[in-house]
Copies of this chain bind each other. A is one copy, B any other.
Amino acid sequence: MLEFDLVARIRQRAGSREDVILGIGDDCALLSPPPGMQLAVTTDTLNRGVHFPAETAPFDIGWKALAVNLSDLAAMGARPAWCTLSLSLSLPEATPGFVDGFLDGFLSLAQRHEVALVGGDTTRGPLSIGVTACGFIEPGMALRRDGTTVGDEVWVSGTLGDAAGALAQWHAKTGIEASLRERLDRPQPRVTLGRALRGIATACIDVSDGLLADLGHICKASGVAALLEVDALPASTSLQAAADLEKRRILQATGGDDYELCFTAPARARAEVLAAAQACATQVTRIGCIRAGNGVDAVCAQGRPWRPQNAGYEHFGLG
């Protein structure tokens, strides 16, 4: 199985859009961006054993590789359009069975968001999946990290801690509860919510490194601090069944890979936030507020300061 067979396999299934003038198969793709729009571009690579357990199903690897990039577009409020895929493979993955399963996952998510796969590169190497995704956003409307100010409220979509709960069960070798595993393996990028929050949210980020870390990125970029009510964090019933209170706090505040949106909005926009979320059938929860200073402080329901006992979510640690 040589590169060219693999590229042909990918090319046949890449899908298209009217703004794709030339897709996979030449030195470059040729794309026609809509007039007057800015491009939002993001890139994320997944490596086996670092970003997903080695035994993850090919479908789920493909799904997640695109999902984490679409989640970055969602966090900017951008409309996804195009992506490229760089796939490093060697045995045991360099088989038609793996590649077809991988593409099933990748392309089913792509179709769901009308994203065309416009460029592909395949090389020999340890399993690694690099994706660059591109979307459109009206000038001045992007949900950046640096736009929040003192007095804003902090919100999060969906529920937090499920993916980290699945990873904890995986580490404990106790078997992984199905709905938690679904959150880890098939994150749903909050594209519709991100779009709905344009003009309402003042800052936004997707929760990939863990809420405390990611909210910290907003604070740092905006030059403010945040107070986080850790017991206000929304938890799924699966997570409530799987973890006691303190463990749940840790999973929710420091676990990554949920790919929910954490965003800020002025208190006066509360009704607008709720209406936007309702319009896309997505739960949102107020979890704190922005104040002067720097860093993120967390408090329990009783108002006591809370700090996680472990050092945080380390899947991106190097060296």
Beta-carbon contact of A50 and B119 below 8 Å = no
Beta-carbon contact of B50 and A29 below 8 Å = no
Given known A26-B76, A94-B319, contact A44–B86 (CB-CB < 8 A): yes
Q: How many residues of A contact B (CB 8 A)?
A: 72
Q: A residues 288-319 with Cβ under 8 Å of B?
A: 316-319
Contact of A221 among B26, B29, B122 (CB under 8 A): B26
Beta-carbon contact of B318 and A78 below 8 Å = no
How far is B28's CA from A243's CA once the two chains are assembled, in angstroms?
34
Asked if A157 is an interface residue, CB under 8 A from chain B, the answer is: no
A6 to chain B: which residues have CB within 8 Å? 318
Most buried by B among A6, A27, A36, A125: A27
Beta-carbon contact of B41 and A130 below 8 Å = no
Contact of A42 among B27, B76, B146 (CB under 8 A): B27
Give the Cβ gap from A120 to chain B, nearest Cβ, in Å: 8
Contact digits for A171-199, partner B, Cβ 8 Å, 1 yes 0 no? 00000000000000000000000000000
Q: A residues 26-55 with Cβ under 8 Å of B?
A: 26-33, 35-36, 38-47, 50-51
Contact of A3 among B122, B146, B318 (CB under 8 A): B318
How far is B40's CA from A3's CA once the two chains are assembled, in angstroms?
22
Give the Cβ gap from A258 to chain B, nearest Cβ, in Å: 15
Give the Cβ gap from A52 to chain B, nearest Cβ, in Å: 12
A: residues with CB less than 8 A from B are 1-3, 6, 21-22, 25-33, 35-36, 38-47, 50-51, 72-73, 75-76, 78, 82, 84-86, 88-91, 94-95, 118-126, 128, 130, 132, 134-135, 137, 139, 142, 144-146, 204-206, 221, 316-319
